[in-house]
């Protein structure tokens, strides 16, 4: 694509570096910004630069934060006895939005993936192990995606944490709420039968 202006071209080039945005979409966004008020562009640019430069990570759970210790870790009303281990910041936001969990988090920053060259030392696993002794944590919930890499990571962490004497659980796998049985894949359906839950818990 040829552009009538070098300024447009460089703006399109930069936007097209973002994931899921091609050059056609980038051009559409640029032309939208050109049509709207100048402030919209400066506000966007400022918000992005400020976010990138000023953001810090919580020194306890490695979640993104505006302060040294994030608002979840600093909140005394949260349940200090359970710790949810997730691979990504996005997972913290997703679980928080369910409003079903009131404990603490630990963000690994990824999953073990030999293909991408990510080993256990590249993740926040050491800080997870060091966090447990002396804390009130009684249960560690592994909320990691059930992919091959995710399961490897869960297995690795379980083995490392075994000696610490805390209960280790994982989130339930099964048929999604609102999902049709006939469209559920065989492995999930099989697992949902094996790990069935009782209606009349004794």
Residues in touch with a second copy (CB under 8 A) = 1-8, 10-11, 13-15, 17-21, 25, 27-34, 38, 40-55, 63-66, 70-72, 88-90, 92-93, 96-97
Nearer to a second copy (CB atom), residue 1 or residue 193: 1
Tokens of residue 152, six digits: 């490897």
Give the strand order in the sheet containing 82-86: 104-107, 82-86, 139-142, 167-170
Nearer to a second copy (CB atom), residue 13 or residue 136: 13
DSSP class of residue 172 equals P
Distance of closest approach, residue 114 Cβ to a second copy, in angstroms? 20
Distance of closest approach, residue 154 Cβ to a second copy, in angstroms? 22
Nearer to a second copy (CB atom), residue 65 or residue 161: 65
Nearer to a second copy (CB atom), residue 113 or residue 192: 113
Beta-carbon contacts of 162 under 8 Å, excluding residues fewer than 6 positions away, are 168
Distance of closest approach, residue 167 Cβ to a second copy, in angstroms? 26
List C-alpha distances in Å: 154 to 43, 120, 151, 169. Answer: 41, 11, 5, 10
List C-alpha distances in Å: 149 to 108, 116, 122. Answer: 13, 10, 14
Nearer to a second copy (CB atom), residue 94 or residue 129: 94
Helix H or strand E segment including 14: helix 6-15
Distance of closest approach, residue 132 Cβ to a second copy, in angstroms? 22
Q: How far apart are CA 82 and CA 78, in angstroms?
A: 9
Distance of closest approach, residue 66 Cβ to a second copy, in angstroms? 5
């Amino acid at each position: 694509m040829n552009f009538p202006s070098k300024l447009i071209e460089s703006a399109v080039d930069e936007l097209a570096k973002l994931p899921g945005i091609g050059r056609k979409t980038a051009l559409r966004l640029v032309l939208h910004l050109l049509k709207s008020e100048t402030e919209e562009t400066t506000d966007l640019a400022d918000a992005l630069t400020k976010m990138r430069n000023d953001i810090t990570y919580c020194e306890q759970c490695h979640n993104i934060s505006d302060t040294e210790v994030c608002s979840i870790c600093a909140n005394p009303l949260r349940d200090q006895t359970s710790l949810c281990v997730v691979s990504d910041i996005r997972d913290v936001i997703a679980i928080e939005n369910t409003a079903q969990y009131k404990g603490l988090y630990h963000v690994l920053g990824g999953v073990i993936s030999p293909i991408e060259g990510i080993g256990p030392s590249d993740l926040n696993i050491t800080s997870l192990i060091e966090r447990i002794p002396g804390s009130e944590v009684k249960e560690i919930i592994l909320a990691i995606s059930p992919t091959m890499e995710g399961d490897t990571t869960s297995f690795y962490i379980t083995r490392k944490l075994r000696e610490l004497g805390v209960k280790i659980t994982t989130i339930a796998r099964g048929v999604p709420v609102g999902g049709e049985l006939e469209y559920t894949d065989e492995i999930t359906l099989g697992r949902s039968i094996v790990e069935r839950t009782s209606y009349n818990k004794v």
